A and B are shown apart, each in its own frame.
Chain A
Amino acid sequence: MSSTGPERYRHQPGDPRPPDGERGSKLLSPLRAEGGKSVAIAVVSTVVFFIVLSLIVVNSPGWAEVKLAFFSRSQFKVSFPEIARAFLVNVKLFLISEVLILAFALVIAVMRSLPGPVFFPIRMLAVIYTDLFRGIPTILVIYLLGFGVPALGIEGIPNSRFFWGVVSLVLVYSAYVAEVYRAGIESVHGSQIAAARSLGLSRGQSMRFVILPQAVRRVIPPLLNDFIGLQKDTVLVSLIGLVEAFRTAGIDSAATFNFTPYVALAVVYVVITVPMTRFVDALVAKDRRRRQAGNAL
């Protein structure tokens, strides 16, 4: 049994993926271990703590201004439905990009795994692509493509902002996802390839039926992490003028000099991304347990 998992990544600022290491929530487990009395103490202490904290916040000088600017109830009521509707544009951006990324990144990863000297130029192309688009800030790619290409005025080239938004996100995220796939491909033990080839399967057939199904299964958690990052990055497309949730919040905010619309958008994001992150963490933990059990056999 091989114990080599997908390549571990080092966390860098701005990387949408969370840092490596223990990621399961350890908030509640000590309580569960200690039983009823400690649960009661935790509840009382939590209630007291938050009452004190909110009293301090509410009685701080300037709280009235903060509340008005960020947490205006009336503004929230007006903005939230608009922003939620505009968020559908982000969802559309995300869904279309995600499907394209999954396919395109797989092509890049397979290109990079082609063996032999004949395929050197193809491998090189894949390496240059992943290096380049992992190195350039997403916002630059969006600007260059979203403003730059339509400005050329070449006939037949679409000038839809939505289109160039999708293209930019696909280019940037495919570079990351291709690396995730590649780590997965490399984590499948060489003996699997030997077994497949020894049965007369061609290189392509071995890849398709034996290597990729195992590789993709192993990288589902990191893939999901990348897609949480992608969801958040869809707001960047607003900067080339696409009217989506962030832009809508900006318009609302500028009209009233109030920041509550941005808070409303933040709420939308939190509601969606926090459960997804928890789900991924649970998957990772389950995967780790399964792998440890496998090694123990």
Chain B
Amino acid sequence: MHRNLGTEILGVMQKRTVVKFLLIFTLVFNASNLFAKESEKEGDGDLKTTIKEFINHHLQDSHDFTLFSDEEAKTHFGFPLPVILWDGGLKVFSSSKFHHGETVAEVNGEYYKLYHGKIYKTDAQGTINYDEDHHATNAKPLDFSITKNVVSMLLISLLMFFMFKSLAKSYKKNNSIPTGVGRFLEPLVLFIRDDIAIPNIGEKKYKKYMSFLLTIFFFIWFLNLLGMTPLGVNVTGNIAVTFALALIVFLITNLTANKNYWGHIFWMPGVPTFMKVVLAPIELLGVFIKPFSLMIRLYANMTAGHVVLMSIIGMIFLFKNWIGGPLSFGLAFALSILELLVAALQAYIFTMLSALYFGMANEEAHH
């Protein structure tokens, strides 16, 4: 080891810090190198792919409620859910018949197979035919199954119903003063009324939208929070769910809109006739884009949150050393706290924008 002038100039303390820094850097660097070598050895069935598949699987809805599973031993812990199919008649059976996609379920002489979270109609052997893009071409029966997400929604709905019913009851019993959990819920209800509904819709008309705004806020918020639990549900990060919610907002906005709103869309007042013609299609497009943005925003935020959080948790298993592990854990912890904030924020934004759209639909003419 050769010494140069630079190292001599460095004080003892400085030397120590530099050494420490180098040590950490090398360890982290080596760890990733180590992993790289390992993955090369393992080939296709490596940890990275497993984690990726796990995350993908988590993001999707499933036909059974799996709490955790051991992929190698092929054992799953959880409970099956009812499958309801419409295929020339209603067919109801337990999802345990699929054995997590390993076997073909036979119902009244028809055969069904669970493949990548979707149910396909197959022959007795469970053959799946593919097209050139590796997409299954088998017939898909209409699937009305009570899936994991449906169960979660029902659970949250029940919880909300009992929570708010008890709040309503506590007013009657207690001389209009909430008790217990109501003390926490009442300020939120008031927040939605005073800071979302009234400023956006207006003092006169906010009342008829209050039920919707309150329901959607707590529904999204509680489902977002449920997504943070280790139960591993991802309801609000599902496009069908956000589409349904956005569709309801779209319908309410346009069905309760007044003349002034439609006037502003099809024949914008106060601009030259030529501009009126140009603006009409743009405004009409806006009618659809508004709820569409609601749908994408909620879906993307929740999905992204889940992906990032799970990826960072997955990194613990990738690093497999005493620095990367705690580091990933700390990061995951910080991100979880951030996600808790996002859960409330997205519910707030969805409610806020819905109220804004309702307010636009109810705006009185002002000239």
Answer yes or no: are A and B bound together in one complex: no
Residues of A within 8 A of B (CB): none
Binding site for A on B (CB under 8 A): none
